[in-house]
Amino acid sequence: MVESRLTRVLLRLGAGLTLAFMYLPLVVVALYAFNRNVTLAWPIERYSTRWFSEAWQDQDVRDALWLSFRAALGATLVALVLGSLAAMAVSRYRFFGREVVSFAVILPIALPGIISGLALQATILDVLSPLGISFGLTTIVIGHATFCVVVVYNNVVARMRRTAGSLDEASADLGADSWQTFRHVMFPQLRTALLAGGLLAFALSFDEVVVTTFTSGAQETLPIWIVGAITRPADLPIVNVVALFVIVVSIVPVYFASRLAGGAGLTSDRPPRGAVAAEIQAP
C-alpha cells in the first residue's frame, strides 16, 4: 500500500465523518417519529409511539400509501417490459440508432423533473384527457414508468453484456424455438438482473415527487402528501412517522437489489460502469 499510515488514519476518519453526515438526518427523522411533542424543538423531551397509531388511522395517509404502492407496482411492471425489450434489442443487434435508443431511455431521468412533468401534464390535458384517460393512477404510472425504464434497461444491458449471445444461437441450433430459448436460456440469466432492476424501479417510483406533482391531478401519492404536510404544523408529527416508514420501505428493496445484483455493479469486481451510475439515477 502506497499511502502512509497517517494518511490512512485520516482517511478512515474522513470516511467515518462522511458516513455520519449521510446517516445523521435519517436518524434525526427516526427520532422525531418518536417525539411526544408536536414542536420541532431539540432535544426531544419525551418519547412516545402515539403518532404511529395516529398515522395509521389517518385516512389521507392510508390512501396516499395505497396509491403510491399501486403506482410503483404498475410503473415497475411497465418498466420491466419496456426496459428489457429495449435492452435485448440493443444488446444483441446492431442497427442504426442504437445509441439513440440509449440516449432516449436516459433522457427522462437526465432532464430536470419539472420539465418532464410539465411536458407530460400538457400531454395529459390535451391529448389523453379527451381520449378518456384523465389524471389518476394511469397517468401517474405513465409518468413514473417513463423514467423507470432506464433502471431496468441498464441492469439488463449490463447483464447481457456478460452473457454470450452464442448461448442463444446454440439453443436454436439444438432445435429450440424462440420461446423455449427465452424461457430456458435467456430468462434464467436475466432473472436476477430483472429482479434487481425491478426493485430499484419500485423504490424510484415510490419516492418520486417532482414529475408526480404534474401527473397526479387531485390524487396524492405518499411523497406528495409529505410535501403538503411539511407546511402544516398540525400534521408534522405524523409526517415524521410517515417519513420513517418511507425510509424503511425504500431502503429494503434496494438492499435486496444490491444483494441480488451481486456482481452487477455494487462490489469491487469490475462492475460495468453504466450499471453503477445508472442504477443510482435521480428520484
Partner 1 sequence: MSGSRSRLARWAVAGLIVGALSIVAAGCGGGDDDGGGDWQVAGLGSSLEEIQELAREEGEVNLVQWENYAQLTDEFRAATGCTVNTKNGGSSDEMITLIQTGEYDGVSASGNASVRLMTTGDVSPINDELVPNYADVQEGIKNQDYNSRDGEPYGVPHGRGPNYLMYRTDEVPEDTTSWNVIWDDAELEKYDGKISIYDDSIFIADAALWLKATQPELEIDDPYQLNQEQFDAAVALLKKQAPFVGEYWPGTPATQIAAYTNGDSVVGTTWPYQYLQLTNADPAVPVAAVKPEEGTTGWSDTWMIYSDAQNPNCMYLWMDHMISPEAQAAVAEGFGEAPVNLEACDLTENPDHCEQFHADDESWWDDVYYWTTPVADCGDDDDSTTCVTQEDWKTAWTEIRG
Partner 2 sequence: MSSVSAREAPPREPPGRRLSTFLFRHPRVRLALLLGLPVAWMAVVYLGSLVVLLLSSFWDIDPFTGDVVREFTLDNFRRIVETPVYREVAWRTVQMAALVTVACAVLAFPIAYYMARVASRRTRNLLVVAIILPLWASYVVKILAWRTILSDGGIVNWALEPLGRSFDGYSTVGLWLTFTYLWLPYMVLPVYAGLERIPESLLEASADLGARSSRTFVRVTLPLAFPAVVAGSIFTFSLTLGDFIAPRLITSEQFIGTVIYSTYGEALPIAAAYSVVPIAVIVLYLVVARRLRAFESL
Amino acid at 253: P
Question: Is the CB of residue 148 less than 8 Å from the CB of residue 76?
Answer: yes
Torsion angle of C-alpha atoms 88, 113, 19, 42, degrees rounded to 10:
-150
Q: Contact region for partner 2 (CB under 8 A) — 20-28, 55-63, 157-165, 183-191?
A: 20-28
Q: Pick from 83, 197, 198, 237: which binds partner 2 (CB under 8 A)?
A: 83
Q: Contact region for partner 1 (CB under 8 A) — 3-11, 120-128, 251-259, 264-272?
A: 120-128
Q: Pick from 4, 22, 99, 231: which binds partner 1 (CB under 8 A)?
A: 231
Q: Pick from 232, 252, 255, 262: which binds partner 1 (CB under 8 A)?
A: 232
Q: Pick from 70, 217, 247, 283: which binds partner 1 (CB under 8 A)?
A: 217
Q: Pick from 111, 133, 164, 167: which binds partner 2 (CB under 8 A)?
A: 111
State the DSSP H helix or E strand holding residue 109, giving kind and residue range, or none if neither.
helix 98-110
Q: Which residues contact 204 (CB under 8 A, 6 or more apart)?
A: 144, 147, 148, 151, 281, 283
Question: Is the CB of residue 48 less than 8 Å from the CB of residue 202?
Answer: no
CA distance 219 to 32: 27
| Residue 243 interacts with which of partner 2, partner 1, none, CB < 5 to 8 Å by class | partner 2
233 near partner 1, rule: CB under 8 A: yes
Amino acid at 182: F
Question: Is the CB of residue 88 less than 8 Å from the CB of residue 160?
Answer: yes
Q: Pick from 91, 134, 163, 258: which binds partner 1 (CB under 8 A)?
A: 134
Q: Contact region for partner 1 (CB under 8 A) — 75-83, 124-132, 151-159, 174-182?
A: 124-132
Q: Which residues contact 46 (CB under 8 A, 6 or more apart)?
A: 35, 36, 37
* Interaction mask 179-208, partner 2, x per CB under 8 A: x-----------------------x---x-
Q: Which residues of 85-119 are buried (b: 16+ CB within 10 A; e: fewer)?
A: ebbbebbeeeeeeeeeebeebbebbeeebeebbee
Q: Pick from 120, 157, 201, 264: which binds partner 2 (CB under 8 A)?
A: 120
138 near partner 1, rule: CB under 8 A: no
Which cell numbers in the block locate residue 119? 411536458
Q: Pick from 48, 49, 53, 267: which binds partner 2 (CB under 8 A)?
A: 267
Residues 136-175 close enough to bind partner 2 by CB under 8 A: 142, 145-146, 149, 172
| Residue 134 interacts with which of partner 2, partner 1, none, CB < 5 to 8 Å by class | partner 1
**Contacting residues toward partner 1, per CB under 8 A:** 96-97, 123, 125-127, 129-130, 134-136, 217-219, 228, 231-233
